Amino acid sequence: MSSKEKNSVTILTESQLSSRAFKDEAYEFYKELRKSQPLYPLSLGALGKGWLISRYDDAIHLLKNEKLKKNYENVFTAKEKRPALLKNEESLTKHMLNSDPPDHNRLRTLVQKAFTHRMILQLEDKIQHIADSLLDKVQPNKFMNLVDDYAFPLPIIVISEMLGIPLEDRQKFRVWSQAIIDFSDAPERLQENDHLLGEFVEYLESLVRKKRREPAGDLISALIQAESEGTQLSTEELYSMIMLLIVAGHETTVNLITNMTYALMCHGDQFEKLRQQPDLMNSAIEEALRFHSPVELTTIRWTAEPFILHGQEIKRKDVIIISLASANRDEKIFPNADIFDIERKNNRHIAFGHGNHFCLGAQLARLEAKIAISTLLRRCPNIQLKGEKEQIKWKGNFLMRALEELPLSF
């Protein structure tokens, strides 16, 4: 989107927010919004009217605001209920990310014990082994596409083993995950995504049947046990929860590893500083989360009760979308916000959200990134971008800030 186009746009559409062109210029656009239009109108097709939030303080407030709901059934009456955009929607949306208390608390409790500090630390050796094994495959070539060869397989292997899912199915998850996060109401995209989600539902049905026959000590078997008890988890919630854990269990981490590596490649002084002072790794990860937030925009929140924000009435049924990427570049909170500084102090980013829906897997993502980046820098000290920086492209995607690929030589 050119500067001229940005100045003339009065309402942003879903297709614009999802475009590669928008991703390329988003940070400058957000900067203008924070100055003059912190509440920006959106047109979201079948979802109706929406608003884009760009300032940090507004984001913090709204992420905890009980007038906003994740489950649209808590906002719309039966007569107002929108028709499903996808035939398979009901089977894949009954998870905790789309729920409100008390349902959200019930669903989160079922899985949070798998993500405790103690449980995550027990995965450290396994993650290290995976990182080394992946680099063993590419190191002789002196080249890799970081996304395909390292950043994607590492977290998908980890979450697959936690869930008890065959590793040979991981490439399928990549296609299905993209269909889930590829928010669009364009008819041709809807049809294709619905077909892919149908495949995903069939896969989950088959997987659950197998786990019922042969339960094991994995997370899916534990969820099936909760479903069999009747009051804990419905069948739709079971499928939706497995889907969420597969998708959320790797998508954010893929982007964190890739975006952090890209930021280091583009800021040679910070890259060299981290190589010389590896004890800065934790701080560097937090700065990478802030600087190129893996999740650019939140999933939608519905307005259950009208309220006023910046002099504008937010009406019942309006959609609120928060730009985590913009909030994390807010100059009022982060001095020199557009500078990548791995020693940044008091880094209060909200890359993992805030409030009830703070990312359950945040600690796992941080650990995976720490091991992945530390191992990469230790084993490939001369790593650098292969080709021109201008050739590196952001994906056109509504929710995520993700690179198409990241070619590296070493």
Q: So what's the pLDDT on residue 6?
A: 44
Using an 8 Å Cβ cutoff, are 150 and 198 in contact?
no
Tokens coding 261: 């590596």
The topology (CATH level 3) of 3-409 is Cytochrome p450 (1.10.630)
Please give the single-letter amino acid code of residue 36. S
Using an 8 Å Cβ cutoff, are 148 and 405 in contact?
yes
Query: Which helix (H) or strand (E) covers residue 369, if one does?
Result: helix 362-379
DSSP string, 96-123: GGG--TTHHHHHHHHHHGGGSHHHHHTT
Neighbours of 77 (CB within 10 A): 7
Using an 8 Å Cβ cutoff, are 310 and 284 in contact?
no
Chain position carrying tokens 């001369």: 382
**Can you give the residue ranges of every domain in the chain?**
3-409
Closest alpha carbon to 23 in 392, 407, 408: 392
> DSSP E strands: which ranges in 99-186?
143-145
Closest alpha carbon to 352 in 68, 97, 32: 97
Closest alpha carbon to 270 in 254, 300, 294, 292: 292
DSSP string, 249-271: HHHHHHHHHHHHHHHHHH-HHHH
| 58 to 38, 97, 243, 323, 394: CA distances (angstroms) | 9, 20, 30, 10, 27
DSSP3 helix / strand / coil % (the chain, rounded to 5): 60, 10, 30
> DSSP E strands: which ranges in 299-409?
301-303, 307-309, 312-314, 319-322, 384-385, 407-409
> 306 by DSSP, 3-state: which?
coil
Cβ within 8 Å of residue 129, ≥6 positions away: none
Using an 8 Å Cβ cutoff, are 144 and 231 in contact?
no
pTM here?
Answer: 0.92
Please give the single-letter amino acid code of residue 263. A
Using an 8 Å Cβ cutoff, are 164 and 215 in contact?
no
Using an 8 Å Cβ cutoff, are 399 and 139 in contact?
no
In order along its 410 residues, the chain shows pLDDT tens digits of 444 444 444 789 988 999 999 999 999 999 999 999 999 999 988 888 999 999 999 999 999 999 999 998 999 988 887 655 556 666 678 899 999 999 999 999 989 888 999 999 999 999 999 999 999 999 999 999 999 999 999 999 999 999 999 888 888 888 888 887 776 666 677 778 888 888 988 999 999 999 999 999 899 998 988 776 666 788 888 888 899 998 888 999 999 999 999 999 999 999 999 999 999 999 999 999 999 999 999 999 999 999 999 999 999 999 999 999 999 999 999 999 999 999 999 999 999 999 999 999 999 999 999 999 999 999 999 999 998 888 999 999 899 999 999 999 99
* Phi, psi at 303, each rounded to 5°: -80, 115
